[in-house]
Amino acid sequence: MADQVLTQHFGLENFYKIDEYVKKGGYEAVGKALQMKPEEILEEVKKANLRGRGGAGFPAGIKWGFVPKVDKPKYLCINADEGEPGTFKDRYIMSHNPHMLLEGIIITSFCVDIHTAFIYIRGEYEAIALRLEEAISGAYDKGFLGKNIMNSGFALDVFVHRGAGAYICGEETALLESLEGKRGNPRLKPPFPASVGLFQCPTVINNVETISNVPQIILNGADWFVKKGLPKDGGTRIFGVSGMVEKPGIYELPIGTSLKDIINKYAGGVKKGKKLKAVIPGGMSAPVLKADEIDIPMDFDSLVDAESMLGSAAIIVIDTGTSMLDVLKTVTKFYSHESCGQCTPCRIGTSWINKIVKRMIEGKGSKKDIDEIVRLASNILGNTLCPLGDAAAMPILSITKKFRKELESHL
Amino acid sequence: MNPGFSERTRKKIDKVVARYPQKEAAILPLLHIAQQEFGFISPDSEKLVAEILGIKPIRVREVVTFYTMLNREPIGKYHIQVCSNLSCTLLGSEKLIDYLKGKLGIEPGQTTKDKKFTLSLVECLGACEQAPCMMVNFDYYGNLDKKKIDKILDGLE
């Protein structure tokens, strides 16, 4: 596939090793960036319309631009927590292409005047954390990290910090708390991390895939990047497809590729003998789409128009043999387990809904139950400190709305 | 009583602590090291970590109780963690969990009498393309069925 950029060398056995990476033109982007002015880099990334690949889709260049020019240390935190159910793309990037991430980290840090970067990686990815450390150590040896990077005078240290099992730590302020050695309880915003972040200092937080796109923007220019995707949403996305499809896996495709094509053309269609019922298009938090709603371009704005979200571009395919009540059980179990407990609507609401769903599955549901679920979920939506509350309410509300008849058949 | 960290581990710990402008940030890395060294996080281990970082043990306890990967009780030699999230349940992980419960004779959260296996249900492991999947200690296993589970468990001494 000619569209592949982040994943184009995934087939090469030793691409994760620095020598192989350098042979393929690796670290040329860093060399070029260090010859540029930081503001030129920022302008290029802004022009590229590189939007956050973690879920929220916030333009990276604008985020970097928020960092104040103050006489304080500044930090870069790479969000490698990858906990959104259905998402596994960053695992592939970090294990197959760790140096492209490191290049992105170096360029971003140079652009924002950062000298310390942390990669916060979910605890379960132990093997990948080791691979990252190997890559970092290789980059130090070659002079791409450390005190005087490529004789430019620019200094940067990069450290890997492992989480320990908590979905909430993928939320950026919970990630900061966790990195500071605390429970992963999200912070009230504002202040935003760009001004008051890690250790109370200005901090940029970006997803692995977002930052991994930076080197190619520097090498090929913003116009090239925008042409890869859409004017307001540049580049490719690594779509992760799982669930009831013939060929689950990652597919790097231009932003705006149709969801229908991703499922049918690339992922081999719904599993043989099964029929499509619903699709979760952007990780579990994204409102569900019905089978007749998948003829849609996969970009942030189109998904918003369809009252769902692109999120982490993790596509979960559900077939007609699956009960949506069972899906609702899994969804509500997850959020009630992962709620940090700070905000009452989320803490109580998610577990309450989960109890109702379980009761319905046991055949003890009552006519009022679905309305009660809708009432509780609506009370979570917009009433919590962090987006986990919304992330729980959105799929619940979409399932109860779009599959109400099926849910009622269980009563 | 906890014997304390080995000399070699202490050196590693010093290096880790030096990464952070505030010592407390090293709590999670130190707890990972403690769990690797002692198998689980006992109150003594909490105290050890607290002493190194110059903080009260309760600060360490607060962190330990928040994160699911930190075990406060001893676990079996092999920690089997089966994903119970959506992509995996769509592809039959619930049946596999029942199979494992029967095969090991324990419920999730329990350890076999011979201390060989602990069974846990976990949320998404980030390997949905290989659903249904599980981890045994830190090794990932995907595209599971009963036969494959038998083979994996048979291969563990």
CB neighbours of residue A332 within 10 Å: 26
Tell whether B50 and B82 lie within a shared domain.
no
Chain B residues inside the 8 Å CB shell of A326: 89
- Mutation target vs A (from B33, B72, B90, B133; most A CBs, 10 A cutoff): B90
Tell whether B20 and B84 lie within a shared domain.
no
Position B71 in a domain: no
Side-chain-side CA neighbours of A109 within 13 Å: the count stands at 28
Q: How many domains does chain B contain in total?
A: 2
Tell whether B60 and B82 lie within a shared domain.
no
Assigned token pair, A331? 């969804």
Residue B40 has pLDDT above 60, yes or no: yes
Q: Domain range holding B11?
A: 7-64
Cα A337 to chain center, whole Å? 20
Position B85 in a domain: yes
pLDDT digits (tens, 9 = 90+) for A115-154: 999 999 999 999 999 999 999 999 999 999 999 999 999 9
CB contact under 8 A, A86 and B87: yes
Nearest to B67 among A166, A248, A327 (CB): A166
Tell whether B114 and B137 lie within a shared domain.
yes
Residue of B nearest to A174 (CA): B66
Residue of B nearest to A318 (CA): B90
Closest CA to A198 of A166, A167, A161, A234: A161
CB contact under 8 A, B89 and A330: yes
Q: Give B43's pLDDT tier (boundaries 50, 70, 90).
A: very high
Tell whether B131 and B90 lie within a shared domain.
yes
Nearest to A164 among B24, B31, B126 (CB): B31
Position B50 in a domain: yes
Peptide bond into A191 cis (omega under 30): yes
Residue of B nearest to A328 (CA): B86
- Residue A216 distance to chain B (closest CA, Å): 26
Residue that terminates a domain, selected from B64, B87, B110? B64
pLDDT digits (tens, 9 = 90+) for B110-141: 999 999 999 999 999 999 999 999 999 999 99
**Cα dihedral sign for A190, A209, A184, A202?**
negative
Nearest to A88 among B22, B90, B127 (CB): B127
The pLDDT profile of chain A, 411 residues, written as one tens digit per residue, is 567 999 999 989 899 999 999 999 999 999 999 999 999 999 999 999 999 999 999 999 999 999 999 999 999 999 999 999 999 999 999 999 999 999 999 999 999 999 999 999 999 999 999 999 999 999 999 999 999 999 999 999 999 999 999 999 999 999 999 999 999 999 999 999 999 999 999 999 999 999 999 999 999 999 999 999 999 999 999 999 999 999 999 999 999 999 999 999 999 999 999 999 999 999 999 999 999 999 999 999 999 999 999 999 999 999 999 999 999 999 999 999 999 999 999 999 999 999 999 999 999 999 899 999 999 999 999 999 999 999 999 999 999 999 999 999 998
Tell whether B83 and B143 lie within a shared domain.
yes
CB contact under 8 A, B129 and A249: yes
Tell whether B89 and B147 lie within a shared domain.
yes
Residue that terminates a domain, selected from B23, B39, B64? B64
Counted across chains A and B, CB pairs separated by less than 8 A come out at 139
Residue ranges, comma separated, of all CATH 3.10.20.600 domains in chain A are: 236-319
Overall fold of domain A324-408: de novo design (two linked rop proteins) (1.20.1440)
Residue A3 confidence (pLDDT): 77
Tell whether B85 and B45 lie within a shared domain.
no
Range A236-319 has CATH code 3.10.180.10: no
How far is residue A107's CA from residue A70's CA, in Å, rounded to a whole number? 20
Tell whether B20 and B54 lie within a shared domain.
yes
Range A18-228 has CATH code 3.40.50.11540: yes
CB contact under 8 A, A181 and B70: no
CB contact under 8 A, B87 and A243: yes
- Residue A44 distance to chain B (closest CA, Å): 32
If you count DSSP H runs as helices and E runs as strands, how many of each does chain B have, helices first? 7, 4
How far is residue B72's CA from residue B40's CA, in Å, rounded to a whole number? 6
Nearest to A244 among B63, B68, B90 (CB): B90
What CATH number did the domain enclosing B19 receive? 1.10.10
- Residue B48 distance to chain A (closest CA, Å): 16
Residue A2 confidence (pLDDT): 64
Tell whether B146 and B82 lie within a shared domain.
yes
Residue ranges, comma separated, of all CATH 3.40.50.11540 domains in chain A are: 18-228
Residue ranges, comma separated, of all CATH 1.20.1440.230 domains in chain A are: 324-408
Residue B2 has pLDDT above 70, yes or no: no
What CATH number did the domain enclosing B137 receive? 3.40.30.10
Tell whether B41 and B105 lie within a shared domain.
no
CB contact under 8 A, A127 and B138: yes
- Mutation target vs A (from B41, B46, B67, B87; most A CBs, 10 A cutoff): B87
Crossing angle of helices B27-38 and B43-53, rounded to 10°: 140
Position B1 in a domain: no
CB contact under 8 A, B90 and A250: no
Chain B residues inside the 8 Å CB shell of A322: 90
The pairs formed by A218-225 with CB atoms below 8 angstroms and a separation of 24 or more are A218/A29, A218/A32, A218/A33, A218/A36, A218/A41, A218/A44, A218/A107, A219/A28, A219/A29, A219/A32, A221/A44, A222/A44, A222/A45, A222/A46, A222/A47, A222/A48, A222/A49, A223/A47, A225/A48, A225/A49, A225/A50
Position B23 in a domain: yes
Residue B157 confidence (pLDDT): 87
- Residue A263 distance to chain B (closest CA, Å): 13
Assigned token pair, A53? 């690949």
- Residue B147 distance to chain A (closest CA, Å): 21
- Mutation target vs B (from A126, A128, A272; most B CBs, 10 A cutoff): A126
Helix, strand, coil: what percent of chain B each, to 5? 50, 10, 40
Residue of B nearest to A167 (CA): B123
Nearest to B123 among A126, A167, A243 (CB): A167
Residue B1 has pLDDT above 70, yes or no: no
Question: How far lies A319's CA from each of A270, B11, B23, B30, in Å?
Answer: 7, 54, 50, 44
